[in-house]
Structure 1
Amino acid sequence: MTRTITRSYDTYDQAAAAVEKLEQAGISSTDISVVGRDERAKDSNAAEGAGIGAGIGGAAGLLAGIGLLAIPGIGPVVAAGWLASTAAGAVAGAAAGGLVGSLTSAGVDEDEAHYYAETVRRGGTVVSVRAAQEYAATVEAILDGATPIDRESRVAQYRREGWTRFDETADPYVRGQAGI
């Protein structure tokens, strides 16, 4: 049985370090996804797609193939892996859900999927891994060792700010924006 194990990080660099450790542990890059924000890509054109991987983290493996994707309600993100492909398909086909739909179709609880999408919207990065049961503990140890965001405290923070769930029709989040 395969499980989807997902964690969020405040920075792309933290997430990239986790991805590199996953690959070093023998987790196939085809089972790893990363979607998030990276300041080094903010001036790039999301419509141009792939080709920025070497510039923002990774000479080999999954990160070498990282590209840009524009997600409704989030804006441009760096993305690679199966989750990015699913989200890109949803965006291209105008399917509802975008990142939330991609996560839930991979087995992530809907409330968690809304949290992960909001975290990316606010500048964070999500790493999601499809892991066979025998590798789940290793994947969790690596992801947890990379200092992920504490989901419960972050959700509480978001709720204090008035958040209830990810809204893909909202404008992309801008730090320091009034009311946020």
Structure 2
Amino acid sequence: MRTVTGLFDDYDDARAAVTDLEVAGVPSDDISIVANNTGDRYSTESSDAAEGAGTGAGLGAVGGGVVGLLTGLGLMAIPGVGPVVAAGWLASTAAGAAAGAVAGGAAGGLIGALTDSGVDEEDAHVYAEGVRRGGALVTARVDDSLALKAEAILQQRDRIDPGARRSIYAEEGWTRFDENADPYTLEQVQRERERYRSMMP
């Protein structure tokens, strides 16, 4: 088994990548999505699970989703990130870490789950920071025979290059994800999204 991961600036691209992975034969149980939900942008019904961002996590039903994994989206809160919509094994790991740990446990759970599954630690910090700034993270555990196809699917859906994004963050003095940082406001998330749109050719 290999882990393939993609950070997306556009939530719709992340959702499409999940669907494409499922269609390609990756079981829903082996796919995760974690997307920033500041401003309740992606849930269609309210949930108390999104309250208390930065102090814990919980999962609650969220409407929406088109197939498989996406029909099981729930709400949780990650310290330093704030409210997210999430589903899959990575989300469950982060939620479990937050539920039974002191503040900072969920961030360790998210980054720890990524690194434990083979993601480079530096990239894991970029992915967590990317979600904090409004992005969506798709992670899949795939058989070796599907690894190249899964990588191609994520690339076709415009995943970001973690090295390039790390360089952009570093220009601002960023070094690693900080679970004690304030979550981005909706206005900050929107500015961040516009910033990356303006960089596209």
Q: Do they superpose with TM above 0.5?
A: yes
Structure 1 residues 153 and 43: CA distance shift in structure 2, 3 A: farther
Determine the structure 1 residue equivalent to 2:53. Answer: none
Do the aligned residues in 2 keep the contact of 1:53 with 1:59 (CA within 8 Å)?
A: no
Tell me if 1:11 matches 2:34. no
C-alpha displacement of 1:90: 0.8
Determine the structure 2 residue equivalent to 1:152. Answer: 163
Structure 1 CA distance, aligned partners of 2:3 and 2:32? 10
Tell me if 1:91 matches 2:105. no
Do the aligned residues in 2 keep the contact of 1:42 with 1:76 (CA within 8 Å)?
A: no
Give the unaligned 5+ runs of structure 2: 51-58, 193-201
**Per-residue CA distance 1:25-81 (angstroms, 9 max, x = gap):** 111101100001242339844516332142xxx232000000111011101100000
Determine the structure 2 residue equivalent to 1:40. Answer: 42
The TM-score normalised by the length of structure 1 is 0.89
SS in 2 for 1:157: helix
RMSD of the alignment, in Å? 2.0
Determine the structure 1 residue equivalent to 2:26. Answer: 27
Percent identity between the two aligned chains: 55
Give the unaligned 5+ runs of structure 1: none
C-alpha displacement of 1:170: 1.0
Structure 1 CA distance, aligned partners of 2:188 and 2:91? 28
Structure 2 CA distance, aligned partners of 1:106 and 1:171? 27
Structure 1 residues 105 and 53: CA distance shift in structure 2, 3 A: farther
Structure 1 residues 134 and 13: CA distance shift in structure 2, 3 A: same
Structure 1 CA distance, aligned partners of 2:69 and 2:45? 22
Tell me if 1:78 matches 2:77. no
Structure 2 CA distance, aligned partners of 1:77 and 1:46? 12
- How many equivalent residue pairs? 174
Kindly provide the amino acid, as one letter, of the partner of residue 4 in structure 2: I
Structure 1 residues 46 and 9: CA distance shift in structure 2, 3 A: farther
Determine the structure 2 residue equivalent to 1:64. Answer: 71
Structure 2 CA distance, aligned partners of 1:116 and 1:107? 14
